[in-house]
Structure formats: C-alpha cells, structure tokens
Amino acid sequence: MNADSISLQGVTPLGTGTSRACYPHPNDPFLCIKIPLDDRTSQKRQSRELRYYKRLKRSKVSMRHISQYHGSIITDKGEGYVYDRIIDFDGVPSRDLNHHLQNEEGLQKILIHKINELGKTLESGEILFHDLNASNVFCQKIAENNYQLIIIDGLGDASFFKFIHYFKMIRKRTIRRRWKRVVNRFSRYYPWIKPGMIK
Ligand SMILES: Nc1ncnc2c1ncn2[C@@H]1O[C@H](COP(=O)(O)OP(=O)(O)O)[C@@H](O)[C@H]1O
Ligand SMILES: [Mg+2]
C-alpha cells in the first residue's frame, strides 16, 4: 500500500448505487469518497460525470444544488473520487428525498416548494441530468424547517450524441422533457403529489 493512500478497510459505506460505493472520508466528516465498481460501465460513468462537472465549472453556473467534487485520491480499494458529504446544519447526516417524501407529512408543502425551486435552477442554469430519481437528491436541513436540495448523482448526459452540449435550444427542450419525466415519476410513487403541484 502506498504511504499516501487512504485505507477504507472496515469503513462502512454510506450507500451503494448501481455503479459506485460511497464511503465517509476517514479524515474529514464533510467529505465522502466514491469508488466505482470494477467494471467498464461504472468506470465510464465516473469519467463522464467528471467531464460534466468540469463543463459546469467552466460555465460558472450556480453549484448551490450540486455536491461539489474535490478531486481524486488513491485508496486501498482503488482510485476514489472525493465529493462533499451532505450533512445537516446540526451535524446529522442528511437523508435523501425519498426518505422525506415518505416520512414527513408536515414537510410536504416546503418539499414541493424546494422541488419546484430545483427544477427552475436546473432549467435556468441549463444543467443536464439523466438519472434524477429521489435517491440521487439529498435534503440538507439548513435550519429548523428549512431544507436545501442537493444532487449527489445523475448529472450530465448519458446519450452518445454530444450535440446537446452545443445547441442551447435542444438542451433547454431536453431538460424540460426530462424534468417532466422526473415529476411524473414522483407523483406515481407518492400519490399525495398531485398533477400541477410541481411545474
Ligand atoms: N455526497 C453524498 N453525501 C452523502 N451520501 C452520499 C453522497 N453521495 C452518495 N451518497 C450515498 O451513496 C449512495 C451511492 O452513491 P451514488 O453516487 O448514488 O452511486 P451510483 O452512481 O452507483 O448510483 C447514494 O444513494 C447515497 O445514499
Ligand atoms: Mg445513485
């Protein structure tokens, strides 16, 4: 093992998706380390996400709703990619939107408001997403009864054609269409979300 490499032996992952395991950073509670699974598709998805993060950085779009990327490091589980770990203002690890949509009846109004706000930010910032389900969006509690939605996964474009990055009209239309799909999925899973609540 390299002297500079970080050991993740015995560290319990925060979660595992279809292509990455996500570990708490052993030396910093506000960071996490994502390790792509050992297959070509997962590695490709990671590189694609990093390319898109670079593009966003260049375009100077607001990153308010996006978990920041802090570069790669060597770990004993392979190359890892460091991101902000989403933590509430009181130090408690934040939960994803699924958890809150299922469990917090008192929060319904504010969550709908925040989801609408997220949609507007994605549209106005022309931020592309391809896999925005409720487990890829975290609800960070930023004060009593106030939340900030943060996307932790699913940004960028998964299609083979690259023209979406160069043509504003196509990009805008795609974002609109994909957002409608996200919203339809929310109201299918959560019947209390009625059509028209989210624009
Ligand atoms: N920035 C983060 N802060 C806290 N937990 C996270 C963060 N990123 C990922 N996770 C947890 O790890 C899981 C897997 O990470 P994710 O990036 O979604 O992997 P995949 O690309 O395989 O879907 C998530 O569903 C979530 O529970
Ligand atoms: Mg995921």
CA 198 vs CA 44, 106, 117: distances in Å: 33, 18, 9
CA 143 vs CA 59, 84, 112: distances in Å: 30, 19, 17
Under the banding of pLDDT at 50, 70 and 90, the label for residue 106 is confident
Q: Give yes or no: residues 54 and 106 share one domain.
A: no
- What is this structure's pTM? 0.95
Nearest CA to ligand 1 atom 3: 85
Q: Which of 84, 112, 133 is the last residue of a domain?
A: 84
Q: Within a domain: residue 143?
A: yes
| Residue 20, φ and ψ in degrees, nearest 5 | -145, 150
Q: Give yes or no: residues 113 and 173 share one domain.
A: yes
What's the gap in Å between 137 CA and the centre of ligand 1? Answer: 9
Average pLDDT score over the chain: 94
Q: Give yes or no: residues 121 and 166 share one domain.
A: yes
pLDDT, residue 195, reads 82
pLDDT, residue 147, reads 95
Give residue 106's domain range: 95-189
Q: Give yes or no: residues 177 and 129 share one domain.
A: yes
pLDDT, residue 4, reads 77
CA gap 129, 52 in Å, rounded:
10
Atom number of ligand 1 nearest to Cα 136: 18
Under the banding of pLDDT at 50, 70 and 90, the label for residue 55 is very high
Report whether 131 contacts 49 (CB < 8 A): no
Q: Which of 22, 95, 130 to mutate to test the pocket of ligand 1 (most atoms within 8 A of CB)?
A: 22
CA 24 vs CA 20, 66, 82, 110, 150: distances in Å: 13, 18, 10, 29, 17
Q: Give yes or no: residues 37 and 62 share one domain.
A: yes
Report whether 35 contacts 57 (CB < 8 A): no
| Per-residue pLDDT at 11 exceeds 80 | yes
Atom number of ligand 1 nearest to Cα 22: 12
Number of the ligand closest to the Cα of 132: 2
Instruction: State the total domains in the chain.
Output: 2
Q: Give yes or no: residues 27 and 102 share one domain.
A: no
- Of residues 118, 122, 134, the one with CA closest to residue 174: 122
| Per-residue pLDDT at 104 exceeds 80 | no
pLDDT, residue 3, reads 61
The binding-site residues of ligand 1, defined as CB within 6 angstroms of any ligand atom, are 14-20, 22, 32, 34, 67, 83-86, 135-136, 152-153
Under the banding of pLDDT at 50, 70 and 90, the label for residue 2 is low
Q: Give yes or no: residues 122 and 167 share one domain.
A: yes
Strand blocks (E) in 5-151: 15-16, 20-24, 31-36, 69-75, 78-84, 95-96, 137-143, 146-151
Atom number of ligand 1 nearest to Cα 86: 3
Under the banding of pLDDT at 50, 70 and 90, the label for residue 114 is very high
Q: Give yes or no: residues 134 and 156 share one domain.
A: yes
What's the gap in Å between 22 CA and the centre of ligand 1? Answer: 6
Q: Give yes or no: residues 104 and 53 share one domain.
A: no
Nearest CA to ligand 1 atom 13: 15
Token digits of residue 179: 């957002």
pLDDT, residue 105, reads 77
Under the banding of pLDDT at 50, 70 and 90, the label for residue 145 is confident
Q: How many angstroms from the chain centroid is the CA of residue 56?
A: 14
